[in-house]
């Protein structure tokens, strides 16, 4: 399913990359440690995290991630949004916590590994 | 119940192991008999104590307390000498006495403090209060008892009686910068102590979270620090003073999500800018003072609403 | 469900905790790698699922009153962490599953972010 469909079904808020919402999402990866995402996240997966600082954009670009979902209603920092728009990275946020967000994506059929 | 007997035995063991010298406060503030009650009042207030021994040269000749001061103030006399208001020939303790024997004296005489003298020289070497006994026992328990035993631990009747009448307890911990093996140990020990003292679980939780976050901040960013706790009937006060880079913009540091943490801190599970907001959420009152290049002091008060009653 | 069942569902190896500890019930879960986030919660979950393999994960659990820590991503768990978990009477287990999948699996078993929210299936 696409980011747009996920966003609609889960009621996510889009913060950047509205032109990227047609991206297909098949896998999901949850982690707050950048080194772990760099090392282990599947290419093209949807990244779920609470980190909202600018470095998440570079990680998303390097792993060609489908996008970033911030949890607990967090919004990306201003400079994060700027970097994301420049790099074409979609950042969305979920009002729910990490566990519930991952669970709901799982229910939608987004796979882990 | 078997459990209660086991707990009673544990406390008994400690009371037979610990001596007055192990728990007393060695630096004693004293006064002389010829000093005035006004000088006494200033001294008690400045040092936040409630009584002192009266020394004539080397000899302990009396004890004077806040109760004596109040009686004097109420009497309307303009001034008086300490010699005229003190309790003469006070009961004293020897530094080598076992706590188990000493506790009975606290009970029987209902005095709150005793001067401690050396058994050989009879010179003043310290002062002992119920609060100090409790602090000493808590420190000993920290060293000896494991979490499993603490979880089930409810104070035996001796400890309970002490705790029921304490005024203030002080505990201090040294923090070593960048020592991540030990980071957080002081806070988890403190949590155990609060549980032992029978403090309400929600208050224990808030204090534990606030002190852990403050402790982690000091260890992560500073070179060293000191964490102090004052447990009083009406509130618990916690203060972490560190020596380190300090915080440039304290107001900004209070904003959730603001963090100046380098990446390696994030890899350790911290640095998301939530430490200070967490502390604030747990505290009834929080104060941060920082001087860049020198260090930071974070202090927290949690009101326990137990004014005048036991734990 | 019991902690024993959690371990089974996650194919997790128990590193600290005896049979009695594993018989305890688990209904609520927190997931994440950042400890301050865990501490910011108003409630106390039964289980913390995390990839943080330091003693701080155990200290956080201890401070927060969380009784179980599940390490994900099959990461090696340092002995000091296991020792501290035993000292603090916190159940510690490790699963090869990733954090995302582990959450999905626990959700399917009825665990929720906090006790009482959503129905848990009969154990």
Q: Which of A6, A26, A30 to mutate to test the interface with C (most CBs of C within 10 A)?
A: A30
Q: Is the residue at C70 inside a domain?
A: yes
Query: The tokens of B73 are what?
Result: 């103030």
Q: Is the residue at A113 inside a domain?
A: no
Q: Does residue B40 have a pLDDT over 80?
A: yes
List C residues 82-111 in contact with A (Cβ-Cβ < 8 A).
97-101, 103-104, 106-108
A97–C30 C-beta distance less than 8 A:
yes
* Count: domains in chain A: 1
Sign of CA dihedral B164, B168, B174, B180: positive
User: What pLDDT, in 10s, does the model give residues A30-45?
Assistant: 999 999 999 999 999 9
Query: The tokens of B37 are what?
Result: 């009650």
Section B37-42 average pLDDT: 93
Asked whether B309 and B233 are in contact (CB, 8 A), the reply is yes
What fold, for B2-132?
CBS-domain (3.10.580)
Q: Which of A42-46, B69-73, B165-169 has the lowest mean pLDDT?
A: B165-169
Q: Is the residue at C52 inside a domain?
A: yes
Higher pLDDT, A23 or B10: A23
Q: Is the residue at C119 inside a domain?
A: no
Residues of C in contact with B220 (CB under 8 A): none
Alpha-carbon distance of B1 to B7, in angstroms, equals 10
Q: Does residue A102 have a pLDDT over 50?
A: yes
Whole-number average pLDDT of chain B: 86
A33–B272 C-beta distance less than 8 A:
no
Torsion angle of the four alpha carbons B216, B218, B219, B220, in this order, in degrees rounded to the nearest 10 = 80
Q: What 3 state SS string does chain B have?
A: CHHHHHHHHHHHHHHHHCEHHHHCECCCCCECCCCEHHHHHHHHHHHCCCEEEEEECCEEEEEEEHHHHHHHHHHCCCCCEHHHHCEECCCCEECCCEHHHHHHHHHHHCCCEEEEECCCCCCEEEEEEHHHHHHHHHHHHHHHCCHHHHHHCCCCHHHHHHHHCCCCEEEEEEEECCCCCCCCHHHHHHHHHHHHCCCCHHHHHHHHHHHHHHHHHHHHHCCEEEEEEEECCCEEEEEEEEECCCCCCHHHHCCCCCCCCCHHHHCCCCCCCCHHHHHHHHCCEEEEEEECCCEEEEEEEEECCCCCCCC
Q: Which of A98, A101, A107, A113 to mutate to test the interface with C (most CBs of C within 10 A)?
A: A98
Whole-number average pLDDT of chain C: 92
Section B137-141 average pLDDT: 85
Alpha-carbon distance of B103 to B119, in angstroms, equals 18
Q: How far apart are the first and last CA of chain C?
A: 5
What residue of C is the nearest CA neighbor of A102?
C100
For chain B, the domains span 2-132, 168-303
Domain that holds residue C57: 3-108
How confident is the model at residue B89, as a pLDDT?
A: 87
How confident is the model at residue B273, as a pLDDT?
A: 85
How confident is the model at residue B155, as a pLDDT?
A: 44
Q: Is the residue at C116 inside a domain?
A: no
Domain that holds residue A99: 3-108
Q: Is the residue at C68 inside a domain?
A: yes
- Bridge-based pairing state of the strands C68-71 and C47-50: parallel
Question: Chain A residues contacting C, CB < 8 Å?
Answer: 28-33, 36, 40, 48, 50-51, 72, 96-100, 102-103, 105-107, 112-113
Spacing of C-alpha B67 from chain mean position: 22
C33–A32 C-beta distance less than 8 A:
yes
Q: Is the residue at A27 inside a domain?
A: yes
User: What pLDDT, in 10s, does the model give residues B259-292?
Assistant: 878 888 888 899 888 899 999 999 999 999 999 9
Q: Is the residue at C13 inside a domain?
A: yes
State the CATH number of the domain containing residue C79.
3.40.1390.20
How confident is the model at residue C118, as a pLDDT?
A: 46
How confident is the model at residue A24, as a pLDDT?
A: 95
* Count: domains in chain C: 1
Alpha-carbon distance of B224 to B147, in angstroms, equals 27
Alpha-carbon distance of B70 to B291, in angstroms, equals 40
Q: Does residue B208 have a pLDDT over 70?
A: yes
Q: Does residue B13 have a pLDDT over 80?
A: no
Q: Does residue B310 have a pLDDT over 60?
A: no
Sign of CA dihedral B244, B248, B251, B257: negative
Q: Is the residue at C77 inside a domain?
A: yes
CATH of B168-303, one of 3.30.565.10, 3.90.1300.10, 3.40.47.10, 3.40.50.720: 3.30.565.10
Q: Is the residue at A66 inside a domain?
A: yes
Q: How far is B306 from chain C (nearest CA, A)?
A: 23
Q: Return the residue matching tokens 């920290």.
A: B142
User: B296 - beta bridge partners?
Assistant: B242, B290
């Amino acid at each position: 399913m696409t980011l747009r469909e996920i966003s609609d079904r889960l009621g996510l808020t889009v913060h950047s990359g509205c032109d990227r919402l047609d991206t297909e999402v098949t896998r999901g990866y949850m982690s707050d440690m950048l080194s772990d995402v760099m090392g282990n996240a599947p290419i093209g997966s949807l990244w779920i995290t609470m980190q909202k600082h600018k470095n998440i954009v570079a990680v998303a670009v390097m792993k060609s991630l489908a996008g970033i979902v911030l949890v607990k209603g967090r919004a990306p920092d201003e400079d994060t949004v700027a970097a994301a728009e420049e790099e074409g990275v979609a950042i969305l946020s979920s009002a729910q916590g990490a566990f519930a967000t991952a669970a709901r994506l799982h229910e939608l059929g987004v796979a882990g590994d | 119940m078997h459990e209660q007997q086991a707990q009673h035995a544990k406390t008994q063991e400690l009371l037979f192991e610990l001596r007055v010298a192990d728990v007393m406060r060695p630096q004693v503030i004293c006064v002389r008999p010829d000093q005035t009650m006004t000088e006494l009042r200033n001294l008690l207030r400045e040092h936040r104590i409630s009584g002192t021994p009266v020394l004539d040269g080397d000899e302990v000749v009396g004890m004077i307390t806040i109760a004596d001061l109040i009686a004097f103030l109420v009497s309307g006399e303009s001034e008086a000498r300490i010699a005229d208001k003190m309790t003469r020939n006070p009961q004293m303790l020897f530094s080598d006495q076992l706590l188990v024997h000493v506790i009975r004296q606290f009970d029987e005489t209902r005095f709150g403090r005793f001067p401690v003298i050396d058994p050989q020289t009879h010179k003043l070497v310290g002062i002992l209060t119920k609060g100090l006994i409790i602090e000493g026992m808590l420190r000993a328990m920290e060293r000896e008892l494991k979490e499993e035993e603490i979880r089930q631990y409810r104070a035996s009747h001796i400890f309970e009686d002490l705790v029921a009448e304490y005024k203030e307890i002080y505990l201090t911990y040294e923090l070593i910068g960048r020592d991540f093996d030990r980071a957080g140990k002081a806070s988890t020990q403190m949590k155990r102590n609060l549980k032992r003292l029978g403090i309400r679980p929600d208050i224990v939780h808030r204090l534990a979270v606030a002190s852990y976050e403050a402790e982690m901040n000091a260890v992560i960013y500073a070179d060293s620090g000191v964490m102090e706790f004052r447990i009083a009937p009406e509130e618990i006060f916690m203060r972490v003073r560190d020596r380190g880079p300090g915080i440039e913009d304290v107001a900004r540091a209070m904003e959730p999500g603001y963090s100046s943490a380098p990446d390696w801190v994030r890899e350790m599970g911290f640095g998301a800018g939530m430490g200070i907001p967490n502390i604030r959420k747990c505290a009834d009152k929080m104060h941060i003072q920082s001087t860049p290049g020198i260090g930071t002091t974070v202090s927290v008060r949690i009101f326990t609403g137990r004014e005048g009653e036991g734990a | 469900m019991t902690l024993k069942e959690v371990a089974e569902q996650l194919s997790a190896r128990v590193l600290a905790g005896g049979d009695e500890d594993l018989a305890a019930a688990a209904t609520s879960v927190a997931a994440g790698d950042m400890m301050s986030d865990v501490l910011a919660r108003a409630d106390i979950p039964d289980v913390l699922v995390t990839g943080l393999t330091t003693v701080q994960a155990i200290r956080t659990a201890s401070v927060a009153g969380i009784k179980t820590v599940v390490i994900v991503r099959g990461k090696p768990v340092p002995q000091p962490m296991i020792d501290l978990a035993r000292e603090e009477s916190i159940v510690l287990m490790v699963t090869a599953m990733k954090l995302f999948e582990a959450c999905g699996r626990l959700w399917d078993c009825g665990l929720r972010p906090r006790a009482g929210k959503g129905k848990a299936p009969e154990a």
